[in-house]
Amino acid sequence: MKQTGVIPAGNEWVENDIREFAGSPAARIGDEWMLITAGDVSGDKGNWNTMTASWGGLGVLWGKNVAFMFIRNTRHTLEFANAASLFSLSFFDKPFHKALEIAGAKSGRDIDKAKEGGLTPIVFSDGSLGFKEAKEVISCRKLYAHDFDPALFVDKTIDPKIYPQKDYHRMYIGEITKLRVKG
C-alpha cells in the first residue's frame, strides 16, 4: 500500500538540543506513545511507513546522544527501518491519540495509515520524515540493529509472556541528529 505523499516541512519547526526534550522519556514513550517512521522519499513518494510504539528510550551510548526503539519482526515498518539510514520518532498532543491508535493497530500493507489517521507526512531538509501535526520530532541516524535472542533473556518469564508467538523484536540504536519542536 502506498502511503500518502510527503510534503516539505514548513518553517514552523525550531531545532533544539536533545537535552531540552520536555518531560520524562519513560512517560512520554510508555504512556503517550510515539510514531516510528522510516523510509526514503527521494524517489518514490510512497516508500516509507510509520507505526506506533510504546517501547524505546533516549540516552547516551558510544559518546553520542542516542534513541533506541524496537520493532517486532512481523511489522511492515521493519523492512523500511532495515533499508533506511534514518528514522524518526514523532510525539503528539493528546488529541492525536486516535491517529496513533490507528498506526498501531493497522498495517501499512493494507491502508494508508497517515491518511486514515488524519496526519500529514513531512520531510525535513536532512531527509528524515515526521508529521505536521506532531509537537516534536527526533531525527536519528541508524548506528546499530540487533535481533533479540531468547537464549539471552536473564528473566525467563519474559519470553513466554511477551513472545508467545516467537515474534521477537529487532532493536535499533540511532544517533540523535536533530530535535525539532513545533515553534
Task: State the number of CA atoms in the 13 A half-sphere of 41 facing the CB.
Answer: 26
CA–CA gap between residue 16 and residue 28 (Å, rounded) = 17
In the CATH scheme, what architecture does the domain 7-182 have? Roll (2.30)
Which of these, 13, 34, 53, lies nearest to 93 by C-alpha position?
Answer: 34
Tens digit of pLDDT at every position of the chain (183 positions): 566 678 889 889 999 999 999 999 999 999 999 999 999 876 555 689 999 999 999 999 999 999 999 999 999 999 999 999 999 999 999 999 999 999 999 999 999 999 999 999 999 999 999 999 999 999 999 999 999 999 999 999 999 999 999 999 999 999 999 999 998
**What is the residue extent of each domain of the chain?**
7-182
